[in-house]
Amino acid sequence: MAPPFRRYGRRIVVALLVVGLLIPLATGGAVAQSVAGASGSIVVDEGETVDGIEGVAGTVVVRGTVAGDLSGAAGSIRIAETGRVEGNVDAAAGTLTVDGTVAGDVQAGVGSFELTDSGRVDGSIDVGAGSIVVDGAVGGDVRAAGDSVVVGPNADVGGEFRYDAEEFTRSPDASVAGGVVEDMSLRGDTGVGFGMDIVPSWFGTAYALAANLVLGAVLLLAFPRFSRDVAARVETDPLASGGVGLLALVGVPLALLLVTVTIVGIPLALLGVAAYVAAIWIGTVYGRYAVGSWILGRLGGENRWIALVAGLLGFAVLGAVLLVGGIVELLALLVGLGALAFGLRDRYRSVERATEGTDRSRSA
């Protein structure tokens, strides 16, 4: 009998290499030091400074300082009240909220944009969105194209406010030094420029879907039996899978935090964080694949590739539904992560039994 690692080692190495290459696609990456967390988050904490951010992520949160530009696509981008971007913001996102300060310009194609009463943009704003709210300070001009455009009572615009909207509301307390102009030519201007390219606001969702499809294909090809067992576990015992997934989602970060108490434990914790992020992503894909497999089974079909595509596409559509989409995505993550944990436990036990059997046969 071949040693367990020889039987599985090559596939494990290939899968890990592919996952390592694809993690930046799903989680995003900052040009300098940043925190890349679960569900594809880029976070710059208060008191932290990075050179710049450029990437694709589920969420981007800036509570500290970005010394350069913030450029990328995300489900949501928020510059908190303590956050500051020294350069420009070029973004394609579901939501973009500015509670803090942007020293340069803001150019965005988003689902909704809000400059709150505590927010400030020293340069100009050029945004295309479904909903646009400007209720803070703007040093330059504003170009706003959207279904709804609101100029709030705390708005203080140093230049001209040019808009195109089906619904436009301006508070009498708002200050616009250059005047307000309706410009019908702005209609449809919802792209975001990255160099010479134009990236539409749906780019982040499509990019994440493509990365998930690639990862799912790798998992099904490299570990067909394991993937089938994970889907079966979700179908036969979703409550246990979800409970273990919740325990892993909450417990692993706490355990890694305890490991960092010693200097020796810090490198282990860093490796653990990388493994945790990978597990979250893999669990997400497995959870959606399992749901797709279950639905396909109820319809009388059985095809792992159709189940993968249907599951990922279905959740991509559900993700656009506020609140409901987020809850369903979380449930899929929990059952997928829990089933992954069960599968790894079972595989470890089978390898351990095989190793013990080999040792006994050699000693006989």
Count of domains observed in the chain:
2
In-domain check, residue 3 = no
Distance between CA 254 and CA 174 in Å, rounded?
Answer: 47
Shared-domain flag, residues 148 and 234: no
In-domain check, residue 210 = no
Shared-domain flag, residues 236 and 192: no
Three-state DSSP class for 210? helix
Q: What is the pLDDT of residue 169?
A: 94
In-domain check, residue 179 = yes
Shared-domain flag, residues 47 and 175: yes
Shared-domain flag, residues 139 and 246: no
Shared-domain flag, residues 173 and 38: yes
Shared-domain flag, residues 267 and 150: no
Q: To which H or E segment does residue 94 belong?
A: strand 89-98
C-beta separation of 133 from 156 below 8 A: no
Q: Considering the entire predicted model, what is its pTM?
A: 0.49
Q: What is the pLDDT of residue 10?
A: 42
Those residues whose C-beta lies under 8 Å from the C-beta of residue 14, and which sit 6 or more positions away, are: 218, 222
Shared-domain flag, residues 232 and 182: no
Shared-domain flag, residues 176 and 252: no
Shared-domain flag, residues 167 and 38: yes
Domain boundary (196, 211, 239) is at: 196
Shared-domain flag, residues 179 and 280: no
In-domain check, residue 21 = no
Comparing CA positions, the residue from 68, 44, 40, 71 lying closest to residue 55 is 71
Give the pairing of strands 192-194 and 197-199. Answer: antiparallel
In-domain check, residue 202 = no
Domain boundary (179, 196, 213) is at: 196
Give the pairing of strands 175-176 and 192-194. Answer: unpaired
In-domain check, residue 14 = no
Distance between CA 298 and CA 310 in Å, rounded?
Answer: 13
Domain carrying residue 174: 27-196
In total, the chain counts a number of residues equal to: 364
In-domain check, residue 6 = no
Distance between CA 312 and CA 97 in Å, rounded?
Answer: 28
Shared-domain flag, residues 275 and 342: yes
In-domain check, residue 46 = yes
Three-state secondary structure string covering 246-295 = HHHHHHHHHHHHHHCCCCCHHHHHHHHHHHHHHHHHHHHHHHHHHHHHHH
C-beta separation of 190 from 200 below 8 A: yes
Give the pairing of strands 161-170 and 180-182. Answer: parallel
Q: What is the pLDDT of residue 359?
A: 63
Q: What is the pLDDT of residue 59?
A: 79
Distance between CA 115 and CA 100 in Å, rounded?
Answer: 9
Shared-domain flag, residues 249 and 187: no
pLDDT by position in tens, the chain (length 364):
444 334 444 444 444 444 444 444 444 444 334 433 334 578 888 999 998 887 666 678 999 999 999 987 777 899 999 999 999 998 877 789 999 999 999 998 888 899 999 999 999 999 988 889 999 999 999 999 888 999 999 999 999 999 998 899 999 999 999 999 998 877 544 443 333 333 444 555 677 788 889 998 999 998 999 999 999 999 899 999 999 989 988 888 888 777 766 656 667 777 777 788 888 889 999 999 999 999 988 888 889 999 999 999 888 887 666 566 678 888 888 999 899 999 888 888 877 777 776 666 666 5
